Structure formats: C-alpha cells, structure tokens
Amino acid sequence: MVRTVRETERKYEAGDGGVDLPTLVGRLAGAVGGPVPAGPAQLALSAVYYDTDDLRLARAGQTLRRRRGGDDPGWHLKLPVGRDTRDEVRLPLGRSNRPPEQLIELTRAAHRGAALAPVAQLDNRRRQWVLTGDDGRPLAEVVDDRVTATRPGDASAPMSWGEIEVELAEGADPEILDRIETELLAAGARRSASASKLGRVLADRLGDGPPQPRARRKSPAGEALLAYLWQQAAAIRRTDPAVRRGLPDAVHQMRVACRRMRSAVQVFAPLLDAERVAGLTDELRWLAGELGAARDLEVLEERIEARVAELPPELVLGPVPAQLTRYFAGRRAEAARAATAALDSDRYLELLGRIDALLADPPLTGRAGRPARQEMPDRVRRSLRRTERALRDADAHPPGEARDIALHGMRKAAKRLRYAAEVSEPVVGKNATRLVDEVKAVQELLGDRQDGVVARPVLRELGAAAHAQGENGFTYGLLYRDEEARAERAEAGLDDAWARLRGRAQWLHG
C-alpha cells in the first residue's frame, strides 16, 4: 500500500521575457545527448494541501497533499532529504478526505498532535516532455505548469503563475540537471525563489522564520553554543520520519544528535541557566537509550555478517547466514517497535518542546557573553582531563571485565571531548578540527574493541545454539577468536593514537 519515491527536481520561473519551452525542448534534448522528445503530454492535476493552523509541516519543510489526476493520484507526503531532493511517501487516494494515519504518524514531530486541515488547493494545467538518452532510457522530465491556487476562507482573488519544473529520472546522473539548467538560464529563466508551490502560496503566512544562529571567529561563547545546539535539534527533527520508516542509519543519526546536544549542554553548563535546563540532559539520555537497542543490534548484525563474508567459504560450516537471520530478525523488529514507541510518547513531544523553548529563548548566563575564543578552550581542556583520567583508570585494571568497563568509560569520555571540540571548531579553526580528527581515531579504536566485547557473548550463544540443533558451531568459534585478536590490536594501537591526540591538544595549554 505504501510506496516511496525519491525525487530530485528544480523549479524555475520564466523571467521577465518569458521562456518558450516547446521551442526550447530541442536544445534541452541536445544538452543531454538525446533525441527531441514527442509531446507534450497534457495533464490536469488538482491537489488539496493539509497542515496545522500555524503551518507546522511547512515550517519543517514537509508537505502533505491529496492529489487527483496524472499518473500518480493519491496521498503524497514529501519529506526533505537534501538540496533539490525529497522522499515522496505515497498512499492510494481512498474515499476519505482525512489524511491517512500512516502519514499523520510520520509527521508527528512536526505537528505535535495538532489537527491537520486543508490550507490550500492547487489546480495545475501541465505540459510534460520526457528527455531520453540515445538508448531510449528516460533521463529527465521537463514540465510547463500553469498553476491556480486558493486558500480556504481567503476571499482574495486566486493566485496564478507559471513555472518550469525539471525532475531527474530514477537512476540518471544528477549532472544532467546542471546541463538542463545551463540552457534554461541562457534562455532567460531563473531559479524559483520558493522551493515548492505550496511555499509560494503560503509565503505571507510563513514569513522568514527565526534566524539560525551561526558561530563566527569573533562570536561570543553563547552564540557558538547555540549554533551547535540548533544543528543537533534540526537533526533530531529531520531524522524522526526516517526512524519511523526504518531507514538505514536513521536511528544512529538521531541517537548521535541526542548525544551531541547532551554533551554540549553538560560541557558548557556555565553558559546556561542551570534552573532552566534542569533535567534536559536526563531526557536526552532517555531518548538515546530508547534508540540504543535498535542501533546496537544494527551494528552487531553488520559486524558479524562482515566477518563471515571475509572468511574463506570452506571455513563457513553449516547454514550460518540462515542462523544469523533467525537470531537477529525478531530482535530487530522488537527494538524497532521500542524506538517507535518512544517517538510516539508524550515524553518525547515534551522533550521536543523543551528543545524548542531553549532555542527560542536561550537561557544564557552572563558568562555566555565572553569571547568564544577565550571561553571554549577552557571547557574543551576540562573534557580532555576527564578523558585522561578515564585512560588512567583503565590502565589500572588487568585484562578482564573491569578493564572492558573502564575502556568503555574512556570511549564515552572521548566522545564528550570530541563533541566539545566540535562546538569550538567555528571559532577556534584548524586546531579544533585537527583535535576532532585525532579524537575520532581514538574513538574508532575503542569503538572497535567495545563492539568486539559485545559480539563475543553473542557468538558464543550462536555457537551453542548451532550445536544444540545438531549443526556445526565451528565458524562461530573462529569468529570469537578473531574478535579477541581484534581487541588486542585495538589496544596495541591506543598508546600511539593517544600520543597523537595529546600533540594536537597543545593549543589548549598555550
């Protein structure tokens, strides 16, 4: 029932002199190396767009519509992916004018439970050409749209305009869009000021929105911190629909954004009013924890499958791939349900509200007004000392469970150090960037070791289960020993990696 299409498109206005697209199509075809297309096909499209009263979906870059006509009628939810690119989640038209529950759930982080109702209707007379290569394979779709838009309860005259839209065909080289754009601009067209038709209709209600804080060399410390927190808040909101859709790496991205925000609030605590941010780090820890099982299983499954793939075929004894599928499938599904349940909870919406409030009215202290280039290194230096203490603690333990726990604690401290250095990058520059790179190297060693610590008992469990079922557990024993060797190599490289990190951190003591 649900279908997702990734679309990459650009919109253009005809300019003052107008663009005769039927005449120009031949040049566009030549630009992509194909024949002049037939057509145009004539389409009549009509779409009703849904949003909250205060346009929360539009402000999040999302559009939800019920469209009739064309070759893809139905409910369409467009979610931003990157510049010029969006995922369009499609459901059948159905009989109801109420948005489908699946799409309401995907937009929950934006609408926060507020009702969705029609905010605009767009009727479009479209002429469409398909540009192909010499082999007949579609490369791009070029359309000439004549749009009429109305808004419910708005007695003013309908809005009307024309625009040109170019959409990349599935699997085509994105560079094709650049070639087509060169011809359109030469003919007098210009890139549309609005990223979507709906954005154009609602522009007077949307406004410009609050400015995104940006950190610069001479920024005060509070401004640099807010710029970082804003980025992480945007990442949490952006990845929410992707987590709900079960997209690869989505849980990881949201979890990292939570950790980055939590670390930044903790490390730079003197810049924030303690009373107003009380409990925020606990809630961010909660959300990251709820996502943890899904992410940990994802990492573990990929790790074991990669190790199996590296083995010579003669050492993979028994139905190992099938055994791995049986082991992980149910656990992954349960972890995904737990992650989605967390995103469906009131507690999660309250956390999003707290983050919004922090950014809308920053609880900065007087210390936040100090120059970032003076304030930031002090906080990073404290994180470095914390990581050093964790390393000394680990070195005090012989090999075994206590050492494993201590090195995992050092890994957490290293992450906190890295995130602190990231906050300072825009104002400190190359010194902070180089420190981030060296901390990453330490993290990777500790992360590889910790992933092996987690994998070994699972491999032992899989081997025992294979034996109990009358199958061969040899491969799992081989992988277990390989994980032990990898852990030894990771520890062997830790001293050199730490020495390089310390060398890159000299600017903190200057």
Write the pLDDT tens digit of every residue in 302-347: 999 999 999 999 999 999 999 999 999 999 999 999 999 999 999 9
Residue 510 confidence (pLDDT): 64
Tens of pLDDT, residues 226-245 = 999 999 999 999 999 999 99
pLDDT beyond 80 at 16: no
pLDDT recorded at residue 15:
65
Average pLDDT over residues 375-381: 94
Q: How does pLDDT run across 441-452, given as a tens digit for each residue?
A: 999 999 999 999
- Return the SS3 of 104: helix
- What is the reported pLDDT for 304? 96
Quote the CA–CA distance of 343 and 107 in Å, as a whole number. 11
pLDDT number for residue 152:
93
Q: How confident is the model at residue 208 (pLDDT cuts 50, 70, 90)?
A: confident
Enter the tokens of residue 209.
């929105």
Residues 8-31 have a mean pLDDT of 88
Check whether 268 has a pLDDT greater than 80. yes
Looking at residue 17, its pLDDT comes to 62
- Name the residue with higher pLDDT: 207 or 167: 167
pLDDT at residue 470, rounded to an integer: 92
Q: In the numeric block, which tokens belong to residue 436?
A: 């981030």
Neighbours of 268 (CB within 10 A): 24
Whole-angstrom distance, CA of residue 94 vs CA of residue 50: 16
* Mean pLDDT of all residues in 75-98: 94
What is each CA distance from 384 to 377, 473, 501, in whole angstroms? 10, 44, 10
Q: How many CB atoms lie within 10 A of CB 44?
A: 11
Set out the domains of the chain in order of their start, with CATH numbers: 3-206 (2.40.320.10), 221-509 (1.40.20.10)
For the chain, give the mean pLDDT: 94
The answer to whether 351 touches 343, Cβ cutoff 8 Å, is no
Amino acid in position 297: L
**% of the chain residues with pLDDT over 70:** 99
Distances from the Cα of 245 to the Cα of 87, 107, 282, 331, angstroms = 11, 11, 26, 17
Is residue 51 predicted with pLDDT exceeding 70? yes
Residue 407's pLDDT is what?
Answer: 95
Residue 20 is predicted with a pLDDT of: 87
β-pair partners for 164: 12, 144
- Select from 2, 189, 186, 190 the least CA-distant residue to 90: 2
pLDDT computed for residue 184 by the predictor: 95
Minimum mean pLDDT range among 81-85, 117-121, 230-234, 278-282 = 81-85
Beta bridge partners, 371, equal 220
Percent of the chain, pLDDT > 90?
90
The beta-strand segments (E) located in 133-258 are 138-150, 159-168, 190-191
pLDDT at 18: 74
Joined together, the tokens standing for residue 429 give 């520059």
> Does residue 106 carry a pLDDT above 80?
yes
Residue 33: pLDDT band with limits 50, 70, 90: very high
pLDDT one-digit tens code per residue, 169-205: 999 999 999 999 999 999 999 999 888 999 999 999 9
Amino acid letter, residue 325 = T
Mean pLDDT in residue range 81-89: 93
What torsion do the CA atoms of 285, 287, 291, 296 make, to the nearest 10 degrees?
0
